[in-house]
Structure 1
Amino acid sequence: MTDMWGQGPGQGPGYGPGGYGWGGAWTPPPPPPQPGVIPLAPLGVDRILGGTFTTMRRHAKPLFGTVLLVYLVLGVLMAGALALGYTAVSDDVRALFDRHTEPDWSHLRPVLVAFGIAWAFGMVALTVGTAFIQSACTVVLREAVLGRPACFGAVWRHAWSRTPSVLGVGLLMGLIALIPAGLAVAFMVSLVVTLLTQSVAPVGVLFLLMAVTVPLVVWVYVLFLFGPAAATLEGAGPIQALRRSARLVRGAWWRTFGISLLAGVIMMVVSLAVRVPLQLAMPDPTVQPYEPGQDLSDVFEAMLPQLGFAMVLSMIGNLLVQLVSSVFLPLVTALLYIDQRIRREGLAHTLELASRSDA
């Protein structure tokens, strides 16, 4: 198997240490070449995070442009699905909101089915869009590492061709993540049953299962973290990409987990830094002037301009946070993948040759 850099797994020499020159003087090793956003050598945490932010700055147009366009397409598709669903059951919706008649299951059932189908369609479209964004970020990072401009059209073509494999990887990893989620739901249900029946056996068993399963799922999830990058850059299928990821992460699990966790914490801090001020800026209905006997609709009408402005700001802030997180986390993961290949397979030499051939 040959990847996008023309190297098979395990090929390519690494950079050796320095040596002793004339008279026994120590000669330090030459600095590694850096044609792009990272030096072609094993990377520390600072280089990984710095390379991520540099890629986001230098290639903002293909990165954020791709994410914006994907979200725009998803929004149009979701709006179309909801419009079609409403058109199909508009009579039932009007019947449910008719004040002169009691709600009837014969009207509620088709509404639930129609909008349930629209929701399912939206989730499928979002899953495909997320896989495409992951693949596109990895393709842009490849060009950034080699010091080449990322052509918007080329990024889209290659990312779209690898989206089915990345989607397969994401679905398999999602199935793994469903295990603790299902146990958590079962734990809550059993807790309710325990409160009603005074039995502690189901809760205790499920708690033990969660205590054992959650760490195991986290371990497997991190082990497969490089799957999207391997599927994009090595042309691997979903199962092959997961096996490739497991081989690269093995022996470096804690490092991969720690840096990924740090990236998640950074995004959480950024999210809080944006959303908390916006939340504080939302109008508080309790401070609005209200006189006894005044109609609540008048109070709401007086708040409407301020509330609408705050909601628009909140939507913009949430969109910015989503844009950054959609790009930042895949870039960090892809750089970790490249770093592991540099450390284990001498990928730095292949990258240097690729960057020189394009110069």
Structure 2
Amino acid sequence: MNDTPGWASPGSAPSDGKPDGQPSGEDHAVPRPAEPADPQDTVQDKWSKQQPPAGQWSAPGVPGQQPAPGPQQWGGPTAPPGRGPGWGGGWNAPPAAAKPGVIPLRPLGVGEILDGAVSTMRAHWRTVLGISLTVAVITEIVAILLQGLVLNSGASTAVLEDPNATASELLSATGTVMRDSGVLLLLSLLATFVVTALLTMVTSRAVLGKSVTIGEAWQDARPQVPRLLGLTFLLPLIGAGIVAVGTLPGILVAVAGSSEGGATLAVLGGLAALVVAIWLLVRFSLSSPALMLEKQTVRKSLSRSAKLVNGSWWRVFGIQLLAAILVNIVVSIIVIPFSFLAGALSGEGIGGFLEAGGDAGWTFLIITGIGSVVGSMLAFPITAGVSVLLYIDLRIRREALDLELARAAGLQQSGPGTSGPQPGS
């Protein structure tokens, strides 16, 4: 066997030829010991001319020695402490989720849901702010007209602050204030659900990394608009109906003659009914995305929302509550300066407005309405985006929607544990 460079051991005899000094002919019958060759010459003949640097290689399996650095080291220099930069660090690392759009295609955390809503607004600001501005302007015009022409909470507020008011007057004033507040709350809910419906299409495209215009969003939403209108009115009516049923016994007792007892019973019943209404509205809070994205009927969208929220009620409630708190903080930062400006320009100042019990003039209503429009332009996209992303998150957790989203985004599986671009791409 011929010597192979790099594999022959130092000092080994050649496998072909004869030792130096052996005579030819018949004298080979009694061999003589060969003269030992120079050890230095033997080593130089048997070693390959190209040898690795000292300390760079060792026999396999020798404890305490590291393999030579090279492309075979999958773990790389970022291998965890206590685990050598070999195979373990690379193979044990979990694969990163694909992120074709504003969120990674995997179960989402609270911060990722909020960040996804804000990222949608930043990435598609023309469409998002266009929809929000339109809805906010229409909503605020209606609210200003209602407050200036129909609603009159100033007198009722003054009665509630009067220590000499009778129980019947207090009950009547409370009903008036609740009615006016309920009308404005209903208007706000209508605007929120309408914006959610339109921005559902924008957010669903943003998750896939695709853009959409206002016209395209309207074309996608238009077939479901009649059902959405029914759902939009149904949800507030459910909440108001539950609260009305809870306060009805107290009202009946007050009408029968026991004013104080009836008022107490109405308040307690109203609070209990409010808890039930909040519980139901949270269960049905994802019905609008389900109706728009799954093309469901009103009844099936309510059932779909309840099914998705089941077992995750507190998580859904907590995320929506956190989003509402953040939105209210942002809106307050914007609206409060407009309120002071409106009080200064209306002639009576903000102190006069407060002392008047909320009986505002047109100047005050218009200027504060402008501030509300600016605040709503930022509040609507966050509220709508959180609702849609919560719906997507629950479907990913329960129905592996991330696989369908990856296919819809055109991601091709490029290897084990990978399905496309890495997060942040």
- For normalisation by structure 1, the TM-score amounts to 0.66
Name the SS for the 2:311 alignment partner.
coil
Match of 2:303 among 236, 243, 249: 243
Point out which structure has higher relative CO (alpha carbons under 8 A, 6+ apart).
Answer: 1
Match of 2:97 among 27, 32, 57: 32
Q: Which residue of 2 aligns with 1:320?
A: 374
- Note if 1:50 corresponds to 2:100: no
Match of 1:352 among 406, 412, 425: 406
| Structure 1 residue 198, shift from structure 2 partner | 5.5
Q: Which residue of 1 aligns with 2:330?
A: 270
| Structure 1 residue 212, shift from structure 2 partner | 2.9
Aligned partner letter, 1:149: S
Q: Which residue of 2 aligns with 1:179?
A: 241
| Structure 1 residue 142, shift from structure 2 partner | 0.5
| Structure 1 residue 187, shift from structure 2 partner | 8.3
Provide Cα deviations, 1:136-158, integer angstroms capped at 9, x if missing partner.
11000011000011133211111
* 1:123-272 → structure 2 map (5 Å cutoff): 131-182=193-244, 200=261, 202-272=262-332
Q: Which residue of 1 aligns with 2:41?
A: none
Provide Cα deviations, 1:275-320, integer angstroms capped at 9, x if missing partner.
2222233318468xxxxxxxxxxxxxxxxxxx99987653332111
Query: Counterparts of 1:126 and 1:315 in 2: how far apart (Å)?
Result: 13
Query: Counterparts of 1:198 and 1:209 in 2: how far apart (Å)?
Result: 15
CA gap of 1:277–1:190, structure 2 versus 1, over 3 A, is: farther
Aligned partner letter, 1:275: V
Percent identical residues: 30
Larger radius of gyration: 2
Q: Which residue of 2 aligns with 1:14?
A: none
| Structure 1 residue 270, shift from structure 2 partner | 1.2
| Structure 1 residue 205, shift from structure 2 partner | 3.5
Aligned partner letter, 2:215: G
| Structure 1 residue 131, shift from structure 2 partner | 4.6
Whether the aligned pair in 1 keeps the contact of 2:190 and 2:233 (CA below 8 Å) is no
CA gap of 1:210–1:62, structure 2 versus 1, over 3 A, is: same
- Note if 1:329 corresponds to 2:383: yes
CA gap of 1:72–1:257, structure 2 versus 1, over 3 A, is: closer
Aligned partner letter, 1:182: A
Query: Counterparts of 2:143 and 2:337 in 1: how far apart (Å)?
Result: 29
Query: Counterparts of 1:351 and 1:172 in 2: how far apart (Å)?
Result: 31
Query: Counterparts of 1:208 and 1:36 in 2: how far apart (Å)?
Result: 48
Whether the aligned pair in 1 keeps the contact of 2:247 and 2:267 (CA below 8 Å) is no
Whether the aligned pair in 1 keeps the contact of 2:247 and 2:266 (CA below 8 Å) is no
Query: Counterparts of 2:362 and 2:299 in 1: how far apart (Å)?
Result: 48
- Note if 1:343 corresponds to 2:397: yes
Query: Counterparts of 1:148 and 1:333 in 2: how far apart (Å)?
Result: 19
Query: Counterparts of 1:138 and 1:131 in 2: how far apart (Å)?
Result: 10
Whether the aligned pair in 2 keeps the contact of 1:226 and 1:245 (CA below 8 Å) is yes
Name the SS for the 1:258 alignment partner.
helix
Aligned partner letter, 1:145: V
Number of residue pairs matched by the alignment: 277
| Structure 1 residue 208, shift from structure 2 partner | 4.0
| Structure 1 residue 161, shift from structure 2 partner | 1.7
Name the SS for the 2:233 alignment partner.
helix
Provide Cα deviations, 1:64-116, integer angstroms capped at 9, x if missing partner.
2123344567789999xxxxxxxxxxxxxxxxxxxxxxxxxxxxxxxxxxxxx
Name the SS for the 1:38 alignment partner.
coil
Indicate the structure with greater helix content.
Answer: 1
Query: Counterparts of 1:124 and 1:308 in 2: how far apart (Å)?
Result: 22
CA root-mean-square deviation:
3.8
Whether the aligned pair in 1 keeps the contact of 2:247 and 2:269 (CA below 8 Å) is no
Name the SS for the 1:356 alignment partner.
coil
| Structure 1 residue 209, shift from structure 2 partner | 2.5
| Structure 1 residue 125, shift from structure 2 partner | 10
- Note if 1:60 corresponds to 2:125: yes
Deviates more, 1:208-217 or 1:142-151: 208-217
Query: Counterparts of 1:263 and 1:128 in 2: how far apart (Å)?
Result: 18
* 1:7-18 → structure 2 map (5 Å cutoff): none
Whether the aligned pair in 1 keeps the contact of 2:323 and 2:386 (CA below 8 Å) is yes
Whether the aligned pair in 2 keeps the contact of 1:278 and 1:310 (CA below 8 Å) is no
CA gap of 1:314–1:31, structure 2 versus 1, over 3 A, is: same
Query: Counterparts of 1:129 and 1:329 in 2: how far apart (Å)?
Result: 11
Whether the aligned pair in 2 keeps the contact of 1:132 and 1:160 (CA below 8 Å) is no
